[in-house]
Chain A
Amino acid sequence: MGAHHHGPAQGISRWLFTTNHKDIGTMYLWFSFAMFLLGGFFAMVIRAELFQPGMQLVEPAFFNQMTTLHGLVMVFGAIMPSFVGLANWLIPMMIGAPDMALPRMNNWSFWILPPAFLMLASTLFMEGGAPAFGWTFYAPLSTTYAAPSVTFFIFAIHILGVSSIMGSINIIATVMNMRAPGMTYMKMPLFVWTWLITAFLLVAVMPVLAGAVTMMLMDIHFGTSFFSAAGGGDPVLFQHIFWFFGHPEVYIIILPAFGVVSQIIPAFSRKPLFGYASMVYATASIAFLSFIVWAHHMYTVGMPIAGELFFMYATMLIAVPTGVKVFNWISTMWRGALSFETPMLFCIGFLILFTLGGFTGLMLSIAPADFQYHDTYFVVAHFHYVMVAGAVFSMTAAIYYWLPKWCGRMYSEAMGKTHFWISFIGFNITFFPQHFVGLAGMPRRIPDYALQFADFNMMSSIGAFIYGASQLLFLYNVIAAIVAGKPVSDEKVWDGAEGLEWTVPTPAPYHTFEEPPAVPKPAGTI
């Protein structure tokens, strides 16, 4: 037994060779935060250029590289790895497993990520510049008209795709095979459920993305014509393949966020989650629907009317399971003994702003109206309400919620609340005006704009600087907590917290649940 209770190895080799799910989770989280700051820096360049009309700071070509890299780094470098990190830390602790099912593969799936993003970032210094075709990299912009660095971009996408697939396989294998005795599927915490479904989505669609970039590679270097009209191919085919990946991808980003919120709201409402089973079924329904709505991103390519109608109605249908979730969260809070610590504030912020983003999504789903909204700032506002106020807010809530458990020290509640309010206000100043300029016709991805949009754009930029700065406060708060936070030793850091991860000592020891725990009553029942 003794050999099994050793602590971590010392020095750099601890991190290079670790197979411990907590170490790997920590590395994922720090890596994704670094990418969040990098992607945020790109966003600051964008907003600085758009502060005033006219060309101010950067060349249009460089502006395009910024919008492209901002999207790629935030989606693939910040949000996705952060939730994989959270899954690594929490899933074994939530289902009573000693570690992930395939720990060595776990090490690989993390360590191939930094080289992929190093390669992607290095394209900035290459001749012709970084990819400048938007994060959706539509052909032929990304094939015929791309800078030579596109080949490095393709390779980076391949690597991070492999990383995501390996991480997902590990999560599915863990959840299916490593649950403690008595932890039946319908007793699993919702975070585990949403990640299980997310992992299936990832295994199904990351290969599709890999296929899309492989076709680009072949078109560019090997003379095929998948997306080249001159050779008998079709650029619209690219959009179909991309969005067949891309739409499930947005649920890959948001479903784990739903899981986080479903853990935190009950804890600070001191009530079990309302409608546990319906939450599971709603998540599964959203995942299924995500495969049959992709063409709502391409209403303007000239689809037949039957296609437009099908994708419009299928898209609207997604509002039903999503509405079930939102109402369940509200019902959980209803007549609960609410308290408003930082994680809860971020979850309530999520609830309000994500719902707003959902409503604008419904507006965009209306095919005839979308012809007006398409490729305007209205779309930008919509997806930042669901990506930032959805995924990033819930991720922030998760860090505040579980950090004391991880490191045994409390963050500063005053600083946390300040972070929330600055974030909430800064976020809304940034993105709310973008609805208006979008409806008035301001196109996205353009470094200049007509004079009538100047005031709202200046507001947007000021809000973005505020929101960006508030993340530095977050970083400081987390580091201060880890280094010198008030020690906490209660197993349940929060009095309303439920779940196996709160039954191990605080801070969580290097190895947990080497003996299977007794499974308490499930989170969803009374």
Chain B
Amino acid sequence: MSSLRFSRVPAIDTALKLVTLAIAMFAFVFVVMVPLYNVLCDALGINGKTAGQAYTAVPSVIDESREITVQFVAINNDGMPWSFAPDTRMMRVNPGAANGVVFHAMNPTDADMVAQAIPSISPSRAAAYFHKTECFCFDQQPLDGQSGAEMPLQFIVDQDLPGDIHTITLSYTLFDVTDTVTDGLASR
């Protein structure tokens, strides 16, 4: 055999570096992209998600000069049999004031079920200025078969809400999470 003209060692070195790069990119998806997306969305409120925890109300002046229309939308996700609706579709609120609304849920089936409500705010820019001091969406909602519940929501619209926003729509989509909860695999 003739001696190899090229040493294989540098090629294997190059290859190992590239394998490292590939593994790093795979890890990048999990440890950078996903958390970064969540952090950015939380910080900027860019996907209309509201904070997942209760807001601690700080004493503030109520801005009587402004009225904001807040609309409530309740949607059932595909295949969710509950009836789900707010007691009022729309209210006018002053920034800084505490407000309350109650959502009614009813499980018409005979099975015990667990639901999770996912909020979304439109326009999404308003999400950072919409503070919930109490919300049923912070927890999963179990309901026995053929029973109903009142689910309260308390919120404050921030005085710093940009002046061009006059209407905020808060929508809740109700998901059936019974299976994931009973499987013991729920992630939250």
Contacts and interface: CB of A to CB of B under 8 A. Distances in A.
B46 A207 contact: no
Contacts of A1: 2
A3 interface: yes
B172 to A, nearest CB: 11
Nearest to A204: B25
A286 to B, nearest CB: 19
A15 interface: no
Contacts of A170: 15
Given A101-B11, A178-B11, A515-B5, A223 B26 contact: no
Query: What size tier do the contact residues of chain A reach?
Result: 35 or more
B175 to A, nearest CB: 3
A223 B186 CA distance: 7
B57 interface: no
B124 A516 contact: no
B135 to A, nearest CB: 14
B183 A208 contact: no
Contacts of B11: 101-102, 173-174, 176-178
B18 A302 contact: no
B22 A207 contact: yes
A234 B37 contact: yes
Interface stretch (A236-244, A456-464, A465-473, A487-495): A236-244
A98 B5 contact: yes
Interface of B: 1-2, 5-6, 8, 10-12, 14-15, 18-19, 21-26, 28-30, 33-34, 37-38, 41, 44, 46-49, 52, 77, 116, 118, 124-125, 173, 175-177, 180, 183, 185-188
B2 A172 contact: no
Contacts of B180: 223, 230-231
Contacts of A514: 2, 5
B77 A230 contact: yes
A208 B31 CA distance: 12
B22 A101 contact: no
Contacts of B175: 229-230
Contacts of A293: none
Nearest to A169: B18
A149 B118 CA distance: 29
A224 B180 CA distance: 9
A240 B47 CA distance: 13
A300 to B, nearest CB: 14
B33 A241 contact: yes
Interface of A: 1, 3-4, 97-98, 101-102, 105, 165, 168-170, 172-174, 176-178, 203-208, 210-212, 215, 222-226, 229-232, 234, 236-237, 240-241, 244, 302-304, 307, 514-516
Contacts of B29: 207-208, 211-212, 215, 241
Nearest to B185: A223
Contacts of A229: 118, 173, 175
Contacts of B124: 302, 304
B37 A237 contact: yes
Given A211-B26, A230-B175, A237-B34, A4 B2 contact: yes
Contacts of B12: 102, 173
A101 B17 CA distance: 14
A174 B183 CA distance: 50
Given A98-B5, A229-B173, A303 B46 contact: yes
B19 A169 contact: yes
Given A177-B6, A236-B47, 6 more contacts: A105-B15, A178-B11, A205-B25, A207-B22, A207-B24, A302-B124
A203 B21 contact: yes
A54 B90 CA distance: 43
Nearest to B122: A302
A304 B124 CA distance: 8
23 contacts: A102-B11, A102-B12, A102-B15, A105-B15, A172-B14, A172-B18, A173-B12, A177-B11, A204-B21, A204-B25, A206-B22, A207-B29, A212-B29, A215-B34, A222-B185, A229-B173, A230-B176, A231-B187, A234-B38, A236-B47, A302-B47, A304-B124, A514-B2
Nearest to A237: B37
A105 B14 CA distance: 14
Contact of B18 (A203, A230, A232, A236): A203
B22 A165 contact: yes
A240 B37 contact: yes
Which 8 residue pairs across A and B have the least CB separation, nearest first? A223-B185, A211-B29, A230-B175, A101-B11, A207-B26, A207-B25, A177-B11, A173-B14
Contacts of A240: 33, 37
A165 B23 CA distance: 11
Contact of A224 (B8, B173, B187): B187
Contacts of B46: 303-304, 307
Contact of A225 (B30, B41, B187): B187
Nearest to B33: A241
Contacts of B30: 211, 215
A210 B27 CA distance: 10
A232 B188 contact: yes
B136 to A, nearest CB: 15
A224, A231, A515: residue with the most chain B Cβ atoms closer than 10 Å:
A231
B188 A231 contact: yes
Contacts of B28: 207-208, 211
B63 to A, nearest CB: 25
A4 B4 CA distance: 11
A173 B157 CA distance: 59
Nearest to B8: A101
A68 to B, nearest CB: 21
A206 B21 CA distance: 11
A4 B118 contact: no
A304 B18 contact: no
B66 to A, nearest CB: 23
Contacts of A169: 14-15, 18-19, 22
Contacts of B52: 232
A227 to B, nearest CB: 10
B48 A234 contact: no
A225 B52 CA distance: 15
Nearest to A210: B26
Contacts of A303: 46
Contacts of B1: 3-4
